[in-house]
A = this chain, B = another copy of it.
């Protein structure tokens, strides 16, 4: 689960990490009031689940409360398109109005999990304010990597090494180490998969402030964080992905493809996506219906794919182990009937009750082509695609 910047900053502040003075709001009027409480310049920042907001007009420097009102009015309610959002962008329902920070030194800091080592990693760099991919590309020697331990955490000596690598002014070292320790603690205690503070700023009067912040939480661990569950913002999800997640379906909308995919199992789903490419097209989505989906869930899954305007052919690939092919077939048929779908469907169905499933599909009103396996599916798909061209 992604958090908004203002939610991430609230969490950081709870752990004692200094953040700029400011407030979040959904109304231009309130933005004006918040600015009034801030002496000097302020920043207004669109709250969406995406990076690259600055370059897309989502972050503005404001000098007066009128500025605040005007900027908030412009940004709020708009759909902000960044290089990360896709062409539709994401709706801005809230803006964060904060005092502007006098920057003396910008630091990059992130904590995430190294899957190969199986431990948390802290990445720091003196190149704060720049995106990490860019630092990695242009000045990899400026990336300082610290491996943490599940048993003893982020050791004091490692904090010292990080401080040294960042050339922190001596007077600020102990404060900086305390802040980094707090960030690590938050990472562990709140089941984070990412905390990125970019930049972590040392101000001209030697204060340390987290000027931007990104936090992702492990969805699988939300059960033990009821407080964090409430921070979920469904408006930031793609419409079809939102529908899928309501039904607990693992679905990802992909841009630029025409083949809707419906598969059980993530690996098989990816393999199925891949054969569309072999056939000369691209997948419109990833969809794993999971192991023991109910007919109701299958119905919704089919509707989600069929409702995607990009989808021209649906490819169903089922290798039923836990899943039952007849249940899946029934779900598809019922969904097709309800929506009067005419989309051609290529099906490969194997495993538990697959013969029944296939006969259910064949006896329906749907445009079904049944094939034996993945290789045959690829060939049929290629055929169909060349026919339509």
A150 lies within 8 A of chain B by Cβ? yes
Residues of B within 8 A of A151 (CB): 150-151
Number of copies: 2
Query: Once bound together, how far apart are the Cα atoms of A151 and B118, in whole Å?
Result: 15
In the complex, residue of chain B having the shortest beta-carbon distance to the beta carbon of A149: B151
Within 8 A of B (CB), among A183-227: none
Residues of B within 8 Å of A150, CB to CB, are 151
Q: Which of A105-156 contact B (CB under 8 A)?
A: 150-151
CA distance in complex: A277, B150 (Å): 50
Query: Least Cβ distance of A284 to chain B in Å?
Result: 44
Cα-based distance from A150 to B151 in the complex (angstroms): 7
A106 to B148: give the CA distance in the assembly, Å: 44
- What residue in chain B is nearest A152 (Cβ atoms)? B150
Measured CB to CB, the closest approach of chain B to A89, in angstroms, equals 44
- Mask, A148-181, CB within 8 Å of B = 1, is 0011000000000000000000000000000000
**In the bound complex, CA of A150 to CA of B150 (Å):** 10
**Complex CA distance for A151 and B188, rounded to whole angstroms:** 14
Q: What is the chain B residue whose CB lies nearest that of A150?
A: B151
CA distance A151 to B151 in the complex (A): 6
Nearest CB of chain B from residue A362's CB, rounded to whole Å:
50
Q: When chains A and B are docked, how far (Å) is the Cα of A321 from the Cα of B235?
A: 73
Nearest Cβ on chain B to A94's Cβ, whole angstroms: 37
Cα(A151)–Cα(B150), bound, Å:
7
The smallest beta-carbon distance between A151 and chain B, in angstroms, is 5
**Given the complex of chains A and B, what is the CA–CA distance between A150 and B149 in angstroms?**
13
Nearest CB on B from A247, distance (A): 31
- A276 to chain B: closest CB distance in Å? 45
A residues near B (Cβ < 8 Å) are 150-151
**Can you sample 2 A-B contacts with CB below 8 Å?**
A150-B151, A151-B151
